[in-house]
Structure 1
Amino acid sequence: MTGRFAKLTYTPSVLEIQQKMGSNAANRLRFSPDEVEALTEDEAAFIAQRDSFYMATVNEDGWPYIQHRGGPAGFLHVVDEHTLAFADVSGNRQYISTGNLASDDRVALFLMDYPHRTRLKLLAHAEVTPWSEASEDLRQALPLGASGRPERVITLHVEAFDWNCPQGITPRWTSDEILESSVGDRLRELEQQNARLRAQLSAATLGQTQS
């Protein structure tokens, strides 16, 4: 964990619990706690491969709210080393996350790679811009899903990030990931074998009928 992420998450109550539990987490830090963190090529590549993420906001009463966002791979677009953006499309019209951001612009994101049991956590300030008022260059850079129409652009100004250990992450695969894996190769091989056996059985049945 970096010093910046720890500064934002290791509040006095957290540090007190760490001390009581004999944890040395606060001593395993790197980089300056006052330096806004820059995304590296590793984070940018990881983000570009994701087709979903979880975003937490907080309402006026202090209650957290987590929303799952999905789209084509890379729909969470890396603008630069400090900035991300995505198109917020029409949905169930509850606008809970959008309403929360009107009073508190802080967000936390979880980006998951289930097959490799990898998780990237991000803390950021969100800037909400109506779709029609966003720059043409930014709108063109944001991949859009098949469902819903874009209503706004949410730009995330990254403050800090942290990579998690794989503990507790259950491996899961999408259908596309399965087809691209060795399991997919085996499935295609079995389908080909099945097709050959069907053809042989059909030929044998036809020969018996003709005789």
Structure 2
Amino acid sequence: MGTPNQEKHMAYGFLDIAITPSVRAAQAEMGADGLWTDFPGHRAFDRFTEAEAQFIADRDSFYMGTVSETGWPYMQHRGGPRGFLKVLDAQTLAFADFRGNRQYISAGNLRANDRVSLFLMDYRRRARLKIYAHAQVLALDADPALTDQVVVPGYRGKPERIVRLRLEAFDWNCPQHITPRWSEAEVAALQADSD
């Protein structure tokens, strides 16, 4: 346990990355600059626990942000069967990147800048997980064991590459303003339970 001063300035991980001088200025303008300085939940979120692993395994989609060489962010939806985003260990995720519209904007952005931001939603439970990571794009034949681990047999999507993600930091958001929604499969399960 550190001194009180060390604990006060303990790394938060996600906010250490997200809060820049311009963000601090915006917080100060809105009177929120003191909210995050002594935040009681300060700790480094740099390793997934069982709670994050289970949350990730339950998802059938997520949003991934990349940054272009011109500095513009690009947000892309990634989807597949439930659990297609795999937790390989406490700091590593991977997924088979399925063929989409063939614009390859995310794939191109990752050639210039390996930073990604993932946003995972559970609308039914009103929960969201934010992840900062570094991405490595691999050919399907680059690591056959990894490919076997992430390719989903029988899924109709055609995998074109593997994306391996090294966790930098993650954080959970509060449920405020998340409108509850249910997937078609969740509605069917609820109806089956009520029959």
Q: TM-score, normalised by structure 2?
A: 0.88
Question: Mapping of 1:48-127 within 5 angstroms?
Answer: 48-127=57-136
Structure 1: distance between partners of 2:129 and 2:135:
18
1:143 positional shift:
4.1
Give 3-state SS (helix, strand or coil) of 2:141's partner.
helix
Give 3-state SS (helix, strand or coil) of 2:147's partner.
helix
Deviations 1:114-170 (A, max 9, x none): 10010000000000111111x222111114373332111100101000101111111
Q: Which runs of 4+ in 1 moved over 6 A?
A: none
Match of 1:136 in 2: 144
Deviations 1:10-39 (A, max 9, x none): 00010111122111332215125xxx7000
Residue identity in the other structure for 2:161:
R
The structure whose residues are more often helix, as a share, is: 1
Structure 1: distance between partners of 2:91 and 2:172:
16
Match of 1:31 in 2: 43
Moved more, 62-71 or 18-27: 18-27
List alignment gaps of at least 5 residues for structure 1. Answer: 190-211
Q: Is the 8 A contact 1:52 1:68 kept in 2?
A: yes
Give 3-state SS (helix, strand or coil) of 2:36's partner.
helix
**Residue 19 (structure 2) aligned to one of 10, 15, 38:** 10
Q: Is the 8 A contact 1:74 1:143 kept in 2?
A: no
Q: Is the 8 A contact 1:72 1:143 kept in 2?
A: no
> Which of structures 1 and 2 has the bigger CA Rg?
1
Q: How many residues align?
A: 181
RMSD: 1.5
* % same residue: 52
Structure 2: distance between partners of 1:77 and 1:87:
9
Q: Is the 8 A contact 2:116 2:133 kept in 1?
A: yes
Structure 1: distance between partners of 2:130 and 2:26:
22
Structure 1: distance between partners of 2:35 and 2:132:
19
Match of 2:193 in 1: 185
1:93 positional shift:
1.2
Question: Mapping of 1:161-172 within 5 angstroms?
Answer: 161-172=170-181
Q: Is the 8 A contact 1:52 1:71 kept in 2?
A: yes
